[in-house]
């Protein structure tokens, strides 16, 4: 595979982990609302800011789509790393990657995107735990689904002539 294939395979590889993470977070969204699930809150706010739409304090289908795109995009560096370093995609590596993504992308930008401090969340530390565990699920599924996704992508590109 070449670099352009890493991009596409990485994007595809991020779909299942993002869906799994979202399924895990859904009960917390139902219980606490959008401000109780950092990823959904940020995704909805990003969509609202991009489209100049008023924030409705709930997740829209476009906010959910934004979340899916973000999750898929964030799997691309994992795929590049695995391929360029010739490292096997272990569960531990997937989880470490997901926690690094959580620390590097979600924590520093939450207030910038939402206008609300993580430390002043009405649900205290609980949304941070949900978010961290959601990322562990994301990393676990990413590491486990990486090989089948790349195999599928390789077969697809071979038969399509790409």
Cβ–Cβ < 8 Å for 35, 111: no
Range of the domain at 154: 3-160
Name the domain count of the chain: 1
pTM for the whole thing? Answer: 0.91
- Residue 2 sits at φ, ψ, to 5 deg, of -105, 180
Q: What is the pLDDT of residues 101-155, one digit of tens each?
A: 999 988 889 999 999 888 889 999 999 999 999 999 999 999 999 988 888 888 8
Q: What is the pLDDT of residues 65-84, one digit of tens each?
A: 999 999 999 999 999 999 99
Handedness of CA 138, 143, 148, 154 (dihedral sign): positive
Which structure tokens are listed for 58? 């709930």
């Amino acid at each position: 595979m070449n670099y352009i294939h890493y991009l596409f395979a990485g994007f595809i590889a991020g779909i299942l982990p993002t869906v799994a993470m979202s399924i895990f977070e859904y009960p917390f969204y139902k219980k606490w609302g959008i401000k109780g699930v950092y990823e959904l809150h940020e995704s909805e706010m990003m969509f609202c800011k991009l489209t100049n739409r008023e924030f409705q304090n709930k997740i829209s289908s476009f906010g959910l789509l934004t979340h899916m795109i973000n999750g898929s995009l964030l799997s691309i560096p994992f795929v590049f790393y695995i391929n360029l370093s010739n490292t096997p995609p272990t569960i531990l590596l997937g989880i470490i990657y997901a926690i690094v993504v959580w620390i590097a992308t979600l924590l520093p930008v939450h207030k910038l995107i939402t206008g609300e401090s993580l430390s002043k969340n009405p649900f205290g530390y609980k949304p941070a735990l949900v978010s961290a565990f959601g990322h562990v699920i994301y990393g676990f599924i990413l590491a486990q689904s990486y090989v089948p996704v790349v195999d599928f992508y390789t077969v697809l590109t071979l038969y399509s002539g790409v």
